[in-house]
Amino acid sequence: MTQAIPTVHLIDDDIAFLTATARLFRAAGLTVAQFGSAQEFLASLTLETRGCVIADLKMPGLNGLDMQTALVRTKNPLPVIFLTGYGDIPASVRAMRNGAEDFLEKHAPKEHLLEAVNRALSRDAEAQERRDRVNEFRSRFASLSEREHEVLHHVLQGKLNKQIAFDLGIHERTVKAHRTAITTKLRVHSVAILTRLAQEIGLFG
């Protein structure tokens, strides 16, 4: 899987403001993608898209909050920073509840803006890392055979080899062999870590 470069996705219906803000981010060494409308941005969004979104709260067509709602429903909910021309308390409350990363005034100093962007970018990176890890484990778990899966299920319930052998009607030595195969395939040796990982990826409900 090729990782896309973390990009600041700027959305504003005002071309002058869009260009100027994009310039600032580029000057700060960031990669920027510009969009004239929320629809345009959502159309460009893929699972590989990395980075964060900075959007004007009020835009013709799909406004900032509606865009955020749509974004949260996708499988790639990038962090969102809202820019607003004037303090709109009800809208900001709604945005933050919806998980907005930040809510800044249009005229906030660049330090605040860059700080917020960096925070958003690292949050996205963390989220991505976590997603990658989960995916990785999921594929490792997927490589287990059916019997190994059964054995793992019993192991996670804290049963001893003898009990497992009895339950499954197999020899205790066979259970041991399965356990070795499991630890090799999953590259995890402690039962405690196995339990946590299984929980994290939602194995066995």
Partner 1 sequence: MNWMTIAWSMVAAACLTLGMINLRVAIGQNHPTPYLFFFANSLAVASLAGLELGLLEATNLQQYESLLHWAQLPVWVMVVSILGVVWSLFRTGRTWLAVVAAGLNTIALIANFVAPEPGIRHAVAVERMPLFGATFTYAKVENSPWNLVDVMSVAILLVFVLDASIKLWQKGERQRAAIAGGGILFFMLAARAYALLVETGIVHTPYFLCFTYFGVLIAMGHELSEQVLRADRLALALRESERQLAHVERVSTMGQFATSLAHELNQPLGAILRNAEAAELFLQSPAPDLEELRAIVRDIRKDERRACDIIDRLRSFLKRGDLDARPLSVGELLHETVKLTRPHATSRGVTLQMTEAEGLPLVSGDRVHLQQVLLNLVLNAMEAMNADQNNKGYVTLGAVKNPSGAVEVFVQDTGPGFSVENAALLFEAFFTTKRRGMGLGLAISRTIIEAHGGRLWAERNGVQRGATFRFTLPSSPADCLS
Rule CB under 8 A: is residue 26 a binding residue for partner 1? yes
Q: Considering only 13-21, 43-51, 127-135, 168-176, which stretch makes contact with partner 1 by CB under 8 A?
A: 13-21
Q: If residue 35 lies in a helix (H) or strand (E), which one and from where to where?
A: strand 31-35
Instruction: Tally the C-alpha atoms within 13 A of residue 134's C-alpha that lie toward its C-beta.
Output: 11
Q: Residue 107 Cβ, how far from partner 1 at the closest point, in Å? A: 6
Q: Kindly compute the dihedral angle of the four CA atoms of residues 108, 114, 120, 123, in this order, to the nearest 10 degrees.
A: -140
Rule CB under 8 A: is residue 14 a binding residue for partner 1? yes
Q: Residue 119 Cβ, how far from partner 1 at the closest point, in Å? A: 18
Closest CA relative to residue 95, chosen from 79, 112, 105, 82: 82
Rule CB under 8 A: is residue 24 a binding residue for partner 1? yes
- Please name the residues in contact with 81: beta carbons below 8 A apart, sequence gap of 6 or more: 52, 53, 54, 55, 100, 101, 102, 103, 104, 116, 117, 120
Rule CB under 8 A: is residue 20 a binding residue for partner 1? yes
DSSP assigned state of 188: -
- Please check whether residue 49 is in contact with residue 18, taking contact to mean a CB–CB distance below 8 angstroms: no
Instruction: Work out the burial of residue 168: count CB atoms within 10 Å of its CB; fewer than 13 is exposed, 13-18 middle, 19 or more buried.
Output: middle
Work out which of 106, 140, 149, 176 binds partner 1, going by CB under 8 A.
Answer: 106
Q: Residue 112 Cβ, how far from partner 1 at the closest point, in Å? A: 11
Rule CB under 8 A: is residue 19 a binding residue for partner 1? yes
Q: Considering only 25-33, 123-131, 134-142, 176-184, which stretch makes contact with partner 1 by CB under 8 A?
A: 25-33
Residue count of the chain, please give it: 205
Work out which of 1, 46, 86, 158 binds partner 1, going by CB under 8 A.
Answer: 86
Work out which of 16, 89, 142, 192 binds partner 1, going by CB under 8 A.
Answer: 16
CA 119 to chain centre: 14
Residues 56-85 that bind partner 1 (CB under 8 A): 58-60, 63, 85
Q: Given the complex with partner 1, which of 27 and 142 has the nearer CB atom?
A: 27
Contacting residues toward partner 1, per CB under 8 A: 14, 16-17, 19-21, 23-24, 26-28, 58-60, 63, 85-86, 106-107, 109-110
